[in-house]
Structure 1
Amino acid sequence: MNDIVKDGLANLGISLFYAKLVLGLLFSFMLTFFSIPTIVKISKRKNLMDEPGARSSHLRKIPNLGGIAIFYSLAVCASIFAFELFELYKFLFASLVILLYIGVMDDVVVMRAYKKLLAQIVVTSLMVLGSDVRVRSFFGLFGIYELSYTFSVIFSIFTFISLINAFNLIDGIDGLSGGYSIICSALFGISYFRLGEYNYPLVVLSAVIIGSVLGFLYYNLSDSRNNKVFMGDTGSMILGFLLAFTAICFIDIFIDKKLPGVPRYFLESAPAVTVAILILPIVDTLNVIFIRLFKKQSIFIADKNHIHHALLMLGLTHRRSSFYILVYYLFVVMAAYFLRHIDVNVLLLVILTLGFTGAYIPRIILYTKEKTH
């Protein structure tokens, strides 16, 4: 069937890959865009709303099941336009369904933390052990190259779970987590495209993620009270999981597997470049943990020590705060790209230094303003 479609498009002078790319982007956007108003209507009718709390930066109840629309769009479009991924990674779709379930449960009734963690361990274990999605090498980072199977499995599961929860933590203001997932997907997608047609299904997946999140952002950034929506834990966990998946696949590309007919490009700094692309959730989470430990508080309590909270305290709006954060961390990625051929350890140090600098700049400005007044 795929060959018939390919031949038909070839007769029209259209590449099958570009057709999948454009249609995947377009249909994922449309599915999210047209499904969210229905989800908002049901959420209001059933009072399935996000209540303002200790960590909240909003003052009124907002529907928080936008992640369902993102999942719906991803599940439909990825399985049609990037179906090769579901053949190669047998447990990918099952993992997304499990994350949908625990995400909706947490958004509706608030699950206990240990139950969410257990579910995340199951999901990530399916991917790491069942689909063999693993970090196999550090490329000389910390003097470590190829990892043993046991350490690779443990580290990969830890990486998945950390990024899922880190991405959840940056979902605190309008547009930030959605905008960042678009940037990360675009960067990974462009990289996959440049690295050859063997990676085209991952390019299409990146486009589908971008389309689905764009459809969500239209309502998330809306000033209207009627259709404004949050992605909730459902959306943030699914996006965090997919970004962790694409990040590990990105690192894996640079390992020479000697596949016939598949050219390989070795980039020693691949792990550091990956950290650069995902720098915001990594730095924001570590920064919050450091502050809580310094204050001798539990690292699991909700607070307002995130980067976006500092910008809001400076009087910026949600949109401006998201814009400044995204621009700064895009600058970090650009710096990593131009320095990608230096030693991987030096590059990682540069990236983390820039990352934490961006995290502390708003706090320093806030402290200076308070001292002057």
Structure 2
Amino acid sequence: MKNFELFLTQSGIPIFYVKVGLGFLFSFLITFFSVPTIIKISRRKNLMDEPGVRSSHLRKIPNLGGIAIFYSIGICASIFAYELFDLYKFLFASLIILLYIGVMDDIVVMRAYKKLVAQIVVAALIVIGSDIRIRSLFGIFGIYEMEYLVSVLFSITTFIILINAFNLIDGIDGLAGGYSIICSALFGISYYRLGEYNYPLVVLSAVIIGAVLAFLYYNLSNYRTNKIFMGDTGSMLLGCLLAFTSICFIDIFIDRELPNIPKYHLQSAPVVAVAILILPIVDTLNVIIIRLANKKSPFDADKNHIHHKLLKLNLTHRRSSFYIILYYLFVVAVAYYLRHMNVNLLLLIVVSLGFFGAYLPDFIYLLKNNKKTNN
């Protein structure tokens, strides 16, 4: 790869743009041509997702699409963004562990505590082994730089929450995949604007977008024989990678002396990261609050997710996903526009808008029922 980069340099071709283009293209193609084989094997071996309590589908669907996503990201990121694996030694090992527990859970359904233990190991490897952690809250709740142990525990908890949060929003066609593309695009654009030191993260974002875009071609397919879900394998992998990219984004704005790395300042960086990931964060908090209020276990399956509320309004999966993503893009736009505001006030606005979006379908449902009653 380094010889190839030398050839491009001597030819006057920008290496970065070639990496982004090829990373996206090959990631898309690998996923696109891998999924049909996975569907065929899944049907032959009956490795299907059975409709359950909180399912939004009525028939058995293959649910190992996450393997194709991992396959393409693992190959393309290692080739076109290899600097990340040089810099963060334990990143690839962590993704391998997630692949294993994801596939196990998709096939035989693992116990919750076993998944949690594996997720803690994965988070600890990245946070402690690769030193990817939240070092400061930039004044949120009056907290600035955190002590090492507090920073490690807080970062591990953040990874675990986001891994599971993306798993929870993967309830209808196109939502987890579409939202992952939006998050990757927003982080990728941000990294691009923040300078060439962050270019490997831009390439990683392009690779994720390519892989998920190809997966969505099948996930949103109307043809019964083509349809596939990403399963826990895909949702946990994407949750982990987006947690990684969001923490890297926050870390750029830490005020510290590092050689050959330019300084940037954005007091609201953690809130902007929260805004980009607001859908899985709010949806997870919302269902946990409802379950605890109803004196149920936070791990009990139900239909209180935002996407379930939109399906209750008789919207299709595609429309539900589109409206949810569109609303939460609006939240990101508000956060970006107000990014120089007081960090605590901005966090309050972002979280309030997030929860408003979670309950907006309920208000619409009540209004519709009232109109029917009055008529």
Interval of TM-score (by shorter of Structure 1 and Structure 2) = over 0.9
Partner of 1:204: 203
Partner of 1:309: 308
The letter for the 2-side match of 1:217 is: L
Pair 1:111-2:110 in alignment: yes
In the alignment, the residues of structure 2 paired with residue 10 and residue 99 of structure 1 have an alpha-carbon distance, to the nearest angstrom, of 37
Aligned-pair distance for 1:299?
Answer: 1.3
In the alignment, the residues of structure 1 paired with residue 10 and residue 297 of structure 2 have an alpha-carbon distance, to the nearest angstrom, of 63
* TM-score, L = length of structure 1: 0.98
1:140-289 equivalence runs, <5 A: 140-289=139-288
Pair 1:58-2:41 in alignment: no
Higher deviation after alignment, 293-302 or 274-283:
293-302
1:129-148 equivalence runs, <5 A: 129-148=128-147
Partner of 1:71: 70
Deviations 1:46-104 (A, max 9, x none): 00000000010000100000000000001000000000000111000100000000000
Q: Give ranges in structure 2 of 5+ residues lacking alignment.
A: none
Q: Is the 8 A contact 1:6 1:15 kept in 2?
A: no
The letter for the 1-side match of 2:178 is: G
Partner of 1:29: 28
In the alignment, the residues of structure 1 paired with residue 369 and residue 103 of structure 2 have an alpha-carbon distance, to the nearest angstrom, of 41
Partner of 1:99: 98
Higher deviation after alignment, 5-14 or 15-24:
5-14
User: Which aligned segments of 4 or more residues in structure 1 are displaced greater than 6 angstroms?
Assistant: none
Aligned-pair distance for 1:294?
Answer: 2.0
Deviations 1:320-344 (A, max 9, x none): 0000000000010011001000111
- What's the secondary structure of 1:138's corresponding residue? strand
Partner of 1:332: 331
Partner of 2:9: 10
Aligned-pair distance for 1:295?
Answer: 1.8
1:341-356 equivalence runs, <5 A: 341-356=340-355
Aligned-pair distance for 1:296?
Answer: 1.9
Aligned-pair distance for 1:165?
Answer: 0.3
Deviations 1:129-188 (A, max 9, x none): 111110000001110100000100000000000000011000000000000000000000
In the alignment, the residues of structure 2 paired with residue 314 and residue 349 of structure 1 have an alpha-carbon distance, to the nearest angstrom, of 29
Superposition CA RMSD, Å: 0.9
- What's the secondary structure of 1:302's corresponding residue? coil
In the alignment, the residues of structure 2 paired with residue 52 and residue 286 of structure 1 have an alpha-carbon distance, to the nearest angstrom, of 25
Count the aligned residue pairs.
372
The letter for the 2-side match of 1:232 is: G
Deviations 1:7-46 (A, max 9, x none): 3213433111111000000000000000000000000000
* TM-score, L = length of structure 2: 0.98
- What's the secondary structure of 1:139's corresponding residue? strand
In the alignment, the residues of structure 2 paired with residue 51 and residue 353 of structure 1 have an alpha-carbon distance, to the nearest angstrom, of 36
Q: Is the 8 A contact 1:81 1:204 kept in 2?
A: yes
Aligned-pair distance for 1:271?
Answer: 0.6
In the alignment, the residues of structure 2 paired with residue 300 and residue 7 of structure 1 have an alpha-carbon distance, to the nearest angstrom, of 52
- What's the secondary structure of 1:79's corresponding residue? helix
Higher deviation after alignment, 152-161 or 4-13:
4-13
**Identity within the alignment, %:** 74
Q: Give ranges in structure 1 of 5+ residues lacking alignment.
A: none
Q: Is the 8 A contact 1:128 1:157 kept in 2?
A: yes
Pair 1:369-2:368 in alignment: yes
Partner of 2:88: 89
Aligned-pair distance for 1:372?
Answer: 3.3
In the alignment, the residues of structure 2 paired with residue 243 and residue 84 of structure 1 have an alpha-carbon distance, to the nearest angstrom, of 18
The letter for the 2-side match of 1:46 is: K
